[in-house]
């Protein structure tokens, strides 16, 4: 375990970035329990290597890389062919105007993406990482990042949940 100054610097990093990490994890997982588990797993794996990681300019990229790997690994492990849901996936009659309602629409629209596309969307458009950093975090080429992002944007653009948002520019 890192001690002393490194321990304090890691604690500062956790305090300053844990909310953003959790929100990103929520976008990846879709629920808070899994998101918090994912962030905790990533930070726990990062902590022992913190001395080496902090020498890099962007330790955040490393944490996201650990988080993405853990998330994709967990998704491969679990059976997700059928998920029980109380809500039918039909588009709503009226466009949601409240952020809470829009949140559910966003979550359903994101579930239409493949894990890699969803990861690229979150890291590229929410975390605002560069394409090179996204490629590093996901472990693929920059070309693959561009391809995933392009397909993901097209899928979201055509998603029934978000069609009003894109066409009418619903103010959230």
Partner 1 sequence: MNDTELIAQLLHETTPEPPSDISLVGLRAAAPAPALVTIEAIHPAPSRRWLPVIAAGAVAACVAGALTAVALVGHDSHAVSPAGSGGSSPSSTSTPAASASSSGAPQLGPTNAAGPLGSPTTSYAGQPATPAAPQTGPSNGFSTSFTSGH
- Give the count of beta carbons closer than 10 Å to the beta carbon of residue 106: 20
29 neighbors 35 (Cβ within 8 angstroms): yes
Establish if 14 lies at the interface with partner 1 (CB under 8 A). yes
Say how far apart CA 109 and CA 22 lie, in whole Å.
19
Closest CA to 83 of 107, 67, 101, 100: 107
Nearer to partner 1, 19 or 58 (CB): 19
Q: Which stretch binds partner 1 (CB under 8 A): 55-63, 65-73, 87-95, 123-131?
A: 123-131
Establish if 41 lies at the interface with partner 1 (CB under 8 A). yes
Which of 29, 43, 68, 120 touches partner 1 by CB under 8 A? Answer: 43
- Give the count of beta carbons closer than 10 Å to the beta carbon of residue 116: 20
Q: Which stretch binds partner 1 (CB under 8 A): 69-77, 112-120, 131-139, 163-171?
A: 163-171
Say how far apart CA 44 and CA 42 lie, in whole Å.
5
Angle between helices 59-77 and 32-46 (to 10 degrees): 130
Establish if 48 lies at the interface with partner 1 (CB under 8 A). yes
Which of 61, 66, 122, 129 touches partner 1 by CB under 8 A? Answer: 122
155 neighbors 112 (Cβ within 8 angstroms): yes
136 neighbors 61 (Cβ within 8 angstroms): yes
Establish if 151 lies at the interface with partner 1 (CB under 8 A). no
* Contact positions with partner 1 (CB under 8 A) in 80-109: 99, 102-103, 106
What residue ranges bind partner 1 (CB under 8 A)? Answer: 1-2, 11, 14-15, 18-19, 21-23, 26-27, 32, 35-36, 39-41, 43-45, 47-48, 99, 102-103, 106, 121-122, 125-126, 128, 149, 153, 156-157, 162, 165-166, 169, 172
């Amino acid at each position: 375990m890192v001690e002393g100054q490194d321990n304090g610097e890691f604690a500062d990093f956790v305090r300053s970035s844990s909310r953003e990490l959790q929100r990103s994890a929520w976008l990846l997982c879709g629920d808070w329990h899994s998101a918090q588990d994912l962030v905790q797993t990533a930070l726990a794996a990062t902590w022992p290597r913190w001395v080496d990681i902090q020498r890099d300019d962007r330790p955040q990229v490393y944490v996201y890389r650990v988080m993405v790997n853990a998330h994709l690994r967990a998704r491969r492990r679990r059976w997700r062919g059928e998920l029980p849901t109380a809500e039918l996936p039909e588009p709503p009659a009226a466009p949601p105007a409240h952020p809470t309602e829009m949140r559910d629409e966003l979550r359903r629209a994101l579930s239409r993406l493949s894990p890699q596309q969803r990861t690229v969307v979150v890291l590229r458009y929410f975390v605002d990482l560069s394409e090179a950093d996204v490629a590093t975090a996901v472990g693929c080429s920059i070309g693959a990042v561009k391809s995933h992002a392009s397909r993901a944007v097209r899928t979201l653009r055509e998603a029934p949940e978000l069609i009003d948002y894109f066409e009418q520019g619903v103010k959230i």
